[in-house]
Amino acid sequence: MISKVKALWSILIVVIVFMNMSAMEVKAEAVSDEWSIKTTIENPKAVSAVSELNGKIYIFGGSSGSNPYKDVQIYDPKNNIWASGSSMPTARDSATSVAYGNDIYVIGGYTGNALTWTGGSSVNNVEVYNTQTDTWSVKKAMPQALGWLTSVLYKGKIYVFGGLTTDTRSVATVQVYDPVSDSWSTKKPIPNTIHGSSAVVHKDKIYLVGGRHIDNYSNVTLNTFFEYDPDNDNWSTKPNLLTARGGPQAVIYSNKIFAIAGVNENGELNTVESFDFEQNKWSYEASLKQARCGAGAVTLGGQIYVIGGSQSTSANSPVNTIEIFGKENSTTPEPTSTTPKGGSQTGSNEGSTTSQGGGGGKSDPEQASGNRAILVVTMTTGLEKEFDLSMKEVNDFISWYEGKQAGSGPASYAINKHDNNKGPFSNRKDYMLFDRILTFEVSEYSK
């Protein structure tokens, strides 16, 4: 039987690869982009729940030392401004969060020190933050109380993977929440019991990256990489990570999965690796400036943002910086832009970890506008839909989108497919559902 003191970090501390070997490989194979410090966090926490929505990054709770918190910090990268939101009903750390419409769902967590797993208990709370009204509501509780869990939004439902029980046991549970019916269901379990993993969506599949495994006999950091097909409820294994990582973050960036930081038996990691779907292999990327585990990560404006985390799992000492990777996409506007001003622009419905074609950003007013545009809408499933439209049609779509984002208007919008009206049909329309849209991009041209 593993002692509880040893269990969690221990709960997030064992590995497979020596760090000095990893460092040499990073130097040899790193990409041209490097990480840089974007800003400092006013009230740094470790193991916070982090989501991006409408160009802002939301940080929920977390812990410092032995204390869990309920505060909400909101960062606006465009203006480099921090603000505070209404506090969560429940103080907790190691929760997971997902953006859906104008809301962010904060699910599960632990009410003590998540890095030593002492002084609290796992919770099954589901609390929803409305970003427009700065208010909280409570939804149906998750069937199993868990901390150190991970989640994604897929086809309008929230998939929650793994987690850690109060008595320090990893689980293989897959729990699915339907925001419309406020109900939970379960799916086929993960091939291994796991907690402290990170999930991302890519082209109708969900990927589970790294994590930890603890039971009566084992206490290990994992280099596992699982693929889940939610439409068929099937699991398969993919090539293992180069480095075992407990408490990493994963995002989709440049059509690859980036596995970022985490912890092993030698301490916190600053290493980063990416999975290339075409080559079906992992490669090292440039390392972070600061090692950290239990951080948050999002993609925004063509860049990866890594937020906070712990630099010392034994002391639960938070990292007070946000690091960024990649060059900002200056040719795309913020999602709240009312009318296109030229160039390529992007809107976003979800706080997504997916970056498609450089992600969001802001418009470039120096570019000449045209009278037509290619509108590319990326759905939450990863499917891209492309339309060749007049600028009036594009503006009408954006007006509907932003009206719905503000809480008014119909749930669907019909886009005329024009030249794609094949066959005997006099007219064909594609009805876009607001809560199924991940991002959209507008590229103007003259005809």
Contact criterion met (CB below 8 Å) for 382 and 376: no
Residues 160, 309, single domain; the answer is yes
More confident residue, 252 or 391: 252
Please return the burial class of 314, using the count of CB atoms within 10 Å of its CB with bins 0-12, 13-18 and 19+.
exposed
**CA gap 357, 54 in Å, rounded:** 17
So what's the pLDDT on residue 30?
40
Give kind and range of the element (H or E) at residue 305. strand 303-307
Count of the separate structural domains present in the chain: 2
Asked if the model's pLDDT at residue 349 lies above 80, the reply is no
Contact criterion met (CB below 8 Å) for 207 and 200: yes
So what's the pLDDT on residue 68?
94
Residues 337-347, mean pLDDT to the nearest whole number: 33
**Last residue of one domain, picked from the residues 272, 297, 325:** 325
Asked if the model's pLDDT at residue 231 lies above 90, the reply is yes
What are 83-105's pLDDT values in tens digits?
999 999 999 999 999 999 999 99
Is 333 inside any structural domain?
no
Secondary structure (3-state) at 382: coil
**Last residue of one domain, picked from the residues 325, 353, 377:** 325
What are 392-445's pLDDT values in tens digits?
888 889 888 877 766 666 777 889 888 655 566 667 888 888 878 888 888 888
- For residue 417, list its beta bridge partners: none
Residues 373, 320, single domain; the answer is no
Residues 243, 363, single domain; the answer is no
Residues 291, 356, single domain; the answer is no
Asked if the model's pLDDT at residue 200 lies above 90, the reply is yes
**CA gap 69, 313 in Å, rounded:** 17
Asked if the model's pLDDT at residue 236 lies above 60, the reply is yes
Is 188 inside any structural domain?
yes
Q: Which two tokens stand for residue 243?
A: 């480095």
Q: What CATH number is associated with residue 168?
A: 2.120.10.80
**Last residue of one domain, picked from the residues 271, 290, 325:** 325
The residue type at 241 = L
More confident residue, 27 or 70: 70
Asked if the model's pLDDT at residue 221 lies above 50, the reply is yes
Please return the burial class of 406, using the count of CB atoms within 10 Å of its CB with bins 0-12, 13-18 and 19+.
exposed
More confident residue, 388 or 402: 388
Most confident of 188-192, 354-358, 377-381: 188-192
Asked if the model's pLDDT at residue 222 lies above 80, the reply is yes
Residue 113 DSSP one-character state: B
Q: Which two tokens stand for residue 160?
A: 């929650």
**Predicted TM-score (pTM) of this structure:** 0.72
So what's the pLDDT on residue 424?
64
Which structural domain range is residue 215 located in? 4-325
**CA gap 303, 117 in Å, rounded:** 33
- In angstroms, the Cα distances linking 95 to 24, 145, 259, 438 are 34, 11, 19, 23
Half-sphere exposure of 164 (CA within 13 A, CB side): 37
Name the phi and psi angles at 21, rounded to 5. -65, -40
Is 336 inside any structural domain?
no
Residues 188, 242, single domain; the answer is yes
What are 243-296's pLDDT values in tens digits?
999 999 999 999 999 999 999 988 999 999 999 999 999 999 999 999 999 999
Is 313 inside any structural domain?
yes
Residues 368, 249, single domain; the answer is no
Residues 416, 361, single domain; the answer is yes
- The mean pLDDT of the chain is 83
Residues 225, 373, single domain; the answer is no
Residues 317, 367, single domain; the answer is no
What are 110-151's pLDDT values in tens digits?
999 998 899 999 999 999 999 999 999 999 999 999 999 999
